[in-house]
Amino acid sequence: MKPEFAVSLMCMDLLNVKEQLDILNKRVDMYHVDIMDGHYCKNITLSPDFVKACATATDIPMDAHLMTENPNDWIEILAAAGARYISPHAETINKDAFRTMNRIRDLGCMAGIVLNPATTLDSIRHYLPRLNMVTIMTVDVGFAGQPFIAEMLGKIEEAAEFKVKEGLSYKIQIDGSCNEKTFKQLRDAGAEVFILGTSGLFGLDRDLNSAYDKMLQRYTRVTGEQV
């Protein structure tokens, strides 16, 4: 599978959202939108209103990453706002995981799930066939710029092997420290979608087009894979 790149919108220049979307719309595969309630993790970033505003300026799919204690309070409003994927954390839906996945699908969205570093793939094994995307965190939740947790490479391999063995179609997405230092390890382990933040994109150049070119060049250099 050709690698895909998702851009973390919480890392963009929020004073120039429209200008940056105009550039990214021509290049990226997906947008990653962090929705935090200040309780599940001690931070607050983007909102359903932000998703709704961005939906007027892009046709690129948006993935709403729900770092919230009660994800079911957010699903309907995010679907209405224009999210294409809705991805709660596994720990927050243990008591009603199948009902939550069905609700996301019934609203016309793709069903995703997010695994914290300490959360095992086994904890979601029974509903993996219902998922369109599995996001594996390679940093702890809540803040940008954290160090890469190398132990997650084994979890990525496990997700990739299970996908092939069971003939499933979910995308394996990586959230946290995706950059030239980790691209090869992640890709070799089975990563398919890379979420780009400050170290992987926005910090590479003040000119966003140049930054994206540099990201692609670095990806190709370290992986040997032309994109």
Q: Which residue type, as a one-letter code, is found at position 210? A: S
- Would you call 22 a catalytic residue per the annotation? no
Tracing tokens 């990453």 back to the chain, one arrives at 65
**Stated length of the chain:** 227
Within 10 angstroms of residue 163's Cβ, the number of other Cβ atoms is 18
Both tokens of 221, joined, read: 């250099």
- Would you call 34 a catalytic residue per the annotation? yes
Active site residue: 34, 96, 122, 205, which one? 34
> Cα–Cα distance between 65 and 202 in angstroms, integer?
20
> Cα–Cα distance between 10 and 3 in angstroms, integer?
22
> Facing residues of 174 across strands?
136, 194
Active site residue: 37, 175, 205, 213, which one? 175
Kindly list the catalytic residues.
34, 175
